[in-house]
Amino acid sequence: MKQSNEAIGFIGLGVMGKSMARNLLKAGYEVFVYTRTKDKASDLLQLGAKWVKAPKDIAQNANVIISMVGYPSDVEEIYLGDDGLIENGKAGTYLIDMTTSTPSLAVKIAEEAKKKGMESLDAPVSGGDIGARDAKLTIMVGGDSEAFEAVRPIFEIMGSNVVHQGPAGSGQHTKMCNQIAIASNMIGVTEAISYAKKAGLDPHRVLQSISSGSAGSWSLSNLVPRMVKGDFEPGFYIKHFIKDMKIALDEAERMGMDAPGLSLSKSLYEGLAEAGEENSGTQALYKHYN
């Protein structure tokens, strides 16, 4: 149950962030929004969201602040910059970064927030545009357990699978596990449907047979129908997936782990990006084979 004085700030209104903010508005929260392009917020403003001109203004108006932006560099600027949330925020504020970023940055933000009397949680998500729209995201949370419990009701408005993974950085490490699993799976899914097409099979019938068996996966059920329709609009951008895979490979190398499946997937997606597909959805891997 939300507190009467609880206001939420939301930074970043992209493919997923806009739906997440909309679900918070529908739940009755007062929501302050910021994104670099105000036009992206127009439909949320019509629903009652309040526009601010900079992250530091969010920090003055909200006691729970959520960010869902593109890259670790964006996260660092928003939280640690001179005009950022920690420098300009209030003690007692909960800072929640839901961007897929680096574990080390999550730890640094948590340490700096603590010095100012704030709580910071790293809470990356999985589920794409559909999960965000339907409030069925998987949310992987790192940070203090008491802080997690305090904002759990907010997480449960945006997601249906919310798990506290451990201390600061644990949410980001868990998201790397998620991305590693998806990376190799996307190769298998795409090759399977490409094989079906070359064998003269109806991809829809093939999907009907294999999606409910041991080959089943979220990507197979949700992204293959888009592939065969020629729908390559982003539920999750290729450019952001490449960013995630780079983070995961860097972390794996730091831990002395070899990740050949992840390396192969990254190279295939980088080839697509170089061919002009960086703003397509991850299902555009299909174009590599067809």
Q: Which long-range contacts (CB under 8 A, 24 or more apart) does 43-50 make?
A: 43/18, 44/13, 44/18, 47/22, 49/10, 49/21, 49/25
- Residues 157, 211: Cα–Cα separation, whole Å: 29
- Short-list 104, 82, 79, CA closest to 250: 104
- Residue tagged active-site, from 175, 243, 266, 287: 175
Residue 174 structure tokens:
């868990």
Are the C-beta atoms of 121 and 64 separated by less than 8 Å? Answer: no
HEC letters along 42-82: HHHHHCCCEECCCHHHHHHHCCEEEECCCCHHHHHHHHHCC
- Whether 175 is catalytic is yes
**3-state secondary structure at position 289:** helix
Beta-bridge mates of residue 137:
159
Active site residues per annotation: 175
